[in-house]
């Protein structure tokens, strides 16, 4: 067993190891070397947090990373595990922080010493750069590119299907710091829904301005003001796999607080799914925070079934 540090320019060497590990994980598909090299690149996150009820900006977030390295373990010349680590420079409402960041870690199942050696080397490298906290498989928001674009529809967290990774972090003092529940509805059928409030105006905006195999934003408007919306995106935006192109991801559903519990949320979800069925999607996936029990109940009662839970881990070294 030999631990080595690679530059990110050598990431293509990790493709076989990655593909061997993601078998059976929902919305994870084999990637080519070209797709891996393109999709593992971190893109700077910069966005505003807006209140779900008032629409006002609560805070502004900005981030970049540096010192990214690939820590690999080789046996007989074969890569049997790796970690992608970096330092994240974050700024939230003007307050700057520097934290360690394990973007991805995996190792050959049943070979715990390999995983332990990779994690230990990852911690040693990041601590040498002065960080006091390490986050692993970090959760932010869809399409912020914390993780690999092709991994689990763009989310960067560790799937509970990777039990040996989950356990490795747990026995090394990492704590769960957030999670996301994923639900699928395969081969879904839906009729065109009826608007519960005829005084509302409904708009449907397809991405790129036309009804292609991408996604849409369905909005409810009253007296010129938006009171709710439902957004969708193709899983094919994160993966080049042919199978991924048949899946539509409901990426957002929000209703103004004083408009909730009137059937509008159900209508917007149904309308988006109906629109997507018309352009050829066969299956749908949705997710919610692991503590959002109301949303979980709503989606599963409607037709979605739980398929996966993903987690972020954190460890403090102070």
List the structure tokens of 295: 């949303």
How many angstroms separate the Cα of 81 from the Cα of each of 24, 27, 38, 47, 112? 18, 21, 20, 33, 10
- Is residue 156 pLDDT above 50, yes or no? yes
List the structure tokens of 284: 């749908």
Length in residues, the chain? 318
Residue 169's pLDDT is 97
d(CA 151, CA 12): 15
d(CA 49, CA 140): 11
- Is residue 179 pLDDT above 90, yes or no? yes
DSSP class of 187: T
List the structure tokens of 206: 């397809």
Could you tell me the pLDDT band of residue 65, with boundaries at 50, 70 and 90?
A: confident
Residue 154's pLDDT is 83
- Is residue 175 pLDDT above 70, yes or no? yes
Give residue 50's Cα distance to chain centre.
19
How many angstroms separate the Cα of 255 from the Cα of each of 229, 240, 304? 7, 33, 20
> Which residues, 6 or more positions from 94, have their beta carbon under 8 angstroms from its beta carbon?
none
pLDDT tens-digit map of 250-282: 999 998 888 788 889 999 999 999 999 999 999
Could you tell me the pLDDT band of residue 49, with boundaries at 50, 70 and 90?
A: low
d(CA 59, CA 72): 38
- Intervals of CATH 3.40.630.30 along the chain: 2-179+310-316, 201-281
The mean of the pLDDT values for the chain is 88
> What backbone phi and psi angles, to 5 degrees, belong to 178?
155, 160
- Is residue 200 pLDDT above 70, yes or no? yes
List the structure tokens of 249: 């991801």
State the residue for tokens 């912020």. Answer: 144
Looking at domain 201-281, its CATH architecture is 3-Layer(aba) Sandwich (3.40)
d(CA 192, CA 274): 6
pLDDT tens-digit map of 293-315: 989 999 998 899 999 999 999 99
List the structure tokens of 104: 């991805």
Range name among 22-26, 64-68, 93-97 with the lowest pLDDT average = 93-97
Could you tell me the pLDDT band of residue 47, with boundaries at 50, 70 and 90?
A: low
pLDDT tens-digit map of 70-98: 999 999 989 999 999 999 887 766 777 78
For helices 264-278 and 293-302, angle between their N-to-C axes, nearest 10 degrees:
50
Residue 143's pLDDT is 44
Calculate what percentage of the chain has a pLDDT beyond 90. Answer: 69
The reported pTM is 0.87
* Helix, strand, coil fractions of the chain, as percent rounded to 5: 30, 40, 35
pLDDT tens-digit map of 235-250: 998 899 999 999 999 9
The CATH number of the structural domain formed by 2-179+310-316 is: 3.40.630.30
Identify which has the larger pLDDT, 98 or 201.
201
- Is residue 207 pLDDT above 80, yes or no? no
Residue 92's pLDDT is 67
- Is residue 142 pLDDT above 50, yes or no? no
In this structure, the strands spanning 95-107 and 133-136 are parallel
Residue 172's pLDDT is 98
């Amino acid at each position: 067993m030999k631990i080595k540090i690679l530059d990110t320019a050598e990431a293509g060497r990790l493709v076989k190891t990655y593909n061997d590990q993601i078998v059976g994980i929902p919305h994870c598909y084999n990637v080519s070397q070209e797709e891996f090299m393109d999709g593992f690149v971190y893109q700077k996150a910069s966005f505003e947090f807006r209140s779900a009820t008032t629409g006002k900006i609560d805070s502004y977030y900005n981030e970049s990373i540096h010192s990214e390295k690939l820590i690999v373990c080789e046996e007989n010349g074969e890569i049997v595990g790796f970690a992608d680590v970096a330092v994240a420079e974050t700024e939230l409402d003007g307050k700057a922080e520097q934290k360690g960041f394990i973007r991805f870690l995996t190792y050959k199942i049943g070979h715990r010493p390999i995983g332990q050696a990779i994690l230990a080397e990852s911690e040693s490298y990041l601590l040498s750069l002065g960080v006091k906290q390490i986050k692993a498989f970090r959760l932010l928001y869809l399409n912020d590119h914390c993780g690999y674009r092709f991994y689990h529809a763009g989310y960067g967290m560790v799937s509970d299907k990777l039990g040996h990774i989950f356990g490795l972090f747990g026995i090394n003092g990492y704590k769960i710091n957030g999670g996301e529940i994923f639900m699928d509805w395969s081969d879904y059928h839906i009729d065109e829904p009826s608007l519960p409030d005829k005084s509302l105006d409904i708009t449907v905006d397809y991405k790129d301005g036309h009804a292609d195999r991408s996604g849409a934003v369905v909005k409810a408007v009253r007296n010129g003001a938006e009171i709710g919306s439902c957004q969708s995106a193709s899983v094919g935006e994160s993966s080049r796999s042919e199978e991924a192109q048949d899946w539509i991801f409901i990426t957002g559903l929000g209703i103004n607080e004083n408009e909730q519990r009137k059937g509008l949320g159900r209508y917007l979800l149904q309308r988006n799914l109906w629109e997507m069925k018309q352009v050829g999607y066969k299956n749908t996936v949705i997710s919610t925070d692991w503590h959002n029990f109301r949303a979980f109940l709503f989606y599963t009662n409607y037709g979605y079934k739980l398929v996966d839970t993903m987690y972020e881990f954190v460890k403090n070294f102070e």
